Chain A
């Protein structure tokens, strides 16, 4: 089927060009390196390679920076560096789960809505997106936490339910555009079932959007996690940068800034790197951009 092959060629050209463009983007490469380091830190903390003593009292109260405690200790004598490292794992878990599922749900519903644009299916999908976009985020998190009776994943569910709409809108738009392309019409004409058209011919061609949106959602999720955890609506077990900042507010008033600075710096560098990575990815995947 020639339609399929032209679509495939189009895709391949986009990706090889993107890799080439990305490899020449210095900011993009640096940010990718930083994100990779964080990923390794997170995996190590997850696998128990380091930051195993994050919950233990290993020193006195508010000990200064030393070779033993790289970032000092907090109010009860826990090592701030270990806590910051361990929180990386929490962050990645939240970011990854939310980004993956929100993008998947958004892609699926967006593709279906776009493919059936103008029909009642599309109307319902749009209505759902409008509704979810109109519920204040913090309230939504709280509401889901109520409904799930303080299940630790209430925050994840709320974020996924909120963030998928943006992905879905973008995918819907792209699918409406793709739908009228020749190869899709050709597939339609020779009787390929609609479900096959959506999954084999249309969705793969929106993958560049999904990748970029995935990174954007990741950033949104980890930023939200920090604020929600600070407010007491997010992570309840374990450790996260938001919880660290939350416990640091007392310390800050007493003039001890290590806890706050450590969590802030870890968060800022990761988000900044992710934002830059996302930008570089977007530039590399934009066929119009020179």
Chain B
């Protein structure tokens, strides 16, 4: 993530809307960020904040209808994915950019073998023959730590455990050597030990394949463990973006601070009750005029209620959208 490198992915002013019965919901409202080669970026927020939609828009996978990218650009290695014809986008999906999903139980097709699903990707993107693809798939499975891969590959998804299935997903996602991996809550559905193993596997392979990873998650612990940078989203906006140290040690946005305070910490002395953020997330049809976090914020002023703060760079890689950011010393 050094500044002399060109960003691999450059998202600018992305706006995604969903047509619903109750009206148009703006799930993402002007999101901009960069992803550099080889780095791991955590995209964090509560459910419904737009983090998953952001991940899906990168690959053009927003369910449409009802969803639609109405504005903005997603530039990946010089090409704008938003305006790219569907056919060219398909050649990028699974080869240059891969995605893995939350539910390993349902994300794989239940009626085809692992081999069938993996070789399908390899023959399509790499032009391999079925036989070559089969060999490559076994190698990939071996790399993600699946024992006896030549046997496992003949099996169907339901014959594997959740952790194994997620490893298969990872093997499939990495089989064509992508430059970018979008991992949407890859470990949420797994138990804690498996979670750690799967995350470690991703990190290991990331180094080997020299790829960038966007980790979409609601779990700050996962971000702290695996990411170089974190992007915090709230109500369709990015409210803070910073490297992992400053994000966790010196959060600038009151929301980030609130999130961090609500995680239990082992080393600190016992508290009676974990602090919580008061109030609830406003729904997308009744957004406040000013800062969307205003109603829940303890630092709110009239200025916040009248105008929405924009994301402002604080340092080269740190940005926050708040008129009254938490000062450095308070942490």
Contact = CB atoms under 8 A, between A and B. Distances in A.
In the complex, A touching B (Cβ < 8 A): yes
Interface of A: 21, 290
Contacts of A21: 21
Contacts of A290: 19-21, 66
Nearest to A289: B21
5 contacts: A21-B21, A290-B19, A290-B20, A290-B21, A290-B66
Nearest to B22: A290
Interface in B1-47: 19-21
A21 to B, nearest CB: 8
A12 B19 CA distance: 25
* Residue from B19, B20, B21 with most neighbouring chain A CB atoms (10 Å): B21
Contacts of B21: 21, 290
A225 B242 CA distance: 73
B324 to A, nearest CB: 39
Interface residues of B, number: 4
A277 B39 CA distance: 57
A290 B19 CA distance: 9
B133 to A, nearest CB: 39
Nearest to B19: A290
A240 B59 CA distance: 60
A283 to B, nearest CB: 11
A21 B20 CA distance: 13
A21 B21 CA distance: 9
Interface string B282-294: 0000000000000
Nearest to A21: B21
A290 B22 CA distance: 9
Interface string B221-249: 00000000000000000000000000000
A76 B12 CA distance: 81
Nearest to B18: A290
Nearest to A290: B21
Nearest to B66: A290
B240 to A, nearest CB: 33
A280 B66 CA distance: 20
A290 B25 CA distance: 13
Nearest to A20: B21
A290 B65 CA distance: 11
Nearest to B65: A290
A17 to B, nearest CB: 9
Nearest to B21: A290
B284 to A, nearest CB: 15
Interface string B196-214: 0000000000000000000
Contacts of B20: 290
A56 B1 CA distance: 95
A265 B175 CA distance: 61
B276 to A, nearest CB: 25
Contacts of B19: 290
A21 B22 CA distance: 11
A285 to B, nearest CB: 14
B21 to A, nearest CB: 5
B185 to A, nearest CB: 23
A286 to B, nearest CB: 11
A290 B66 CA distance: 9
B18 to A, nearest CB: 9
Contacts of B66: 290
Interface string B37-66: 000000000000000000000000000001
A21 B66 CA distance: 18
A282 to B, nearest CB: 16
B285 to A, nearest CB: 14
B22 to A, nearest CB: 9
A290 B67 CA distance: 12
Interface in B138-159: none
A187 to B, nearest CB: 30
A198 B66 CA distance: 38
A97 to B, nearest CB: 37
A145 B19 CA distance: 55
A126 B20 CA distance: 40
The 4 A-B residue pairs with the shortest CB-CB distance, nearest first, are A290-B21, A290-B20, A290-B66, A21-B21
A26 B206 CA distance: 55
Interface in B66-96: 66
A227 B66 CA distance: 43
A154 to B, nearest CB: 47
A88 B21 CA distance: 38
A67 to B, nearest CB: 50
A104 to B, nearest CB: 33
A18 to B, nearest CB: 12
B64 to A, nearest CB: 13
A177 B20 CA distance: 27
